[in-house]
Amino acid sequence: MLGIPCKKTGHDKTSTVVLDIRDYTIDDNQNLSDMRIPYAYLRRFIQEVPNKKIHVIANDRLELNLGVRYLLKKGYHVASYQLNDCPCTDKE
C-alpha cells in the first residue's frame, strides 16, 4: 500500500486499534487483534470500528487493498498493516 507501512504489529493500547479483516475460517492462534470483522462484513459492522488509528491484518494483498480503501473512504486513519505471509523487512 502506498504511504502505509507494513509492520509486524501495530499494537499500541492507547491509540491504535488492531482490526483483523481476515475470514472467520482462518485460524488465529496468536489473537493479536482487538477486533475481528472480515472484509465481507465490514460494510455492515463499520459503526463498531472506533475512530482511532487502525492497524489492519489481512490474509492477502487483495483483501488488504479492498479493506484499506473502504476504511479510508469512510474517513478512518489506517496507520499500518500486516499480511499473513508478509515479505516486508520492517518487522518490529
Q: Which domains does the chain have, with CATH numbers?
A: 16-83 (3.40.250.10)
The pLDDT tens digits along the chain (92 residues) read 678 888 876 556 678 899 999 998 877 666 778 899 999 999 999 999 999 999 999 999 999 999 999 999 999 999 999 988 776 655 44
Q: Which three cell numbers stand for residue 44?
A: 455492515
Q: What DSSP assignment string belongs to 69-92?
A: HHHHHTT-EEEEEEETT---S---
Model pTM score: 0.84
Residue 7's CB: how many other CB atoms inside 10 A? Answer: 17
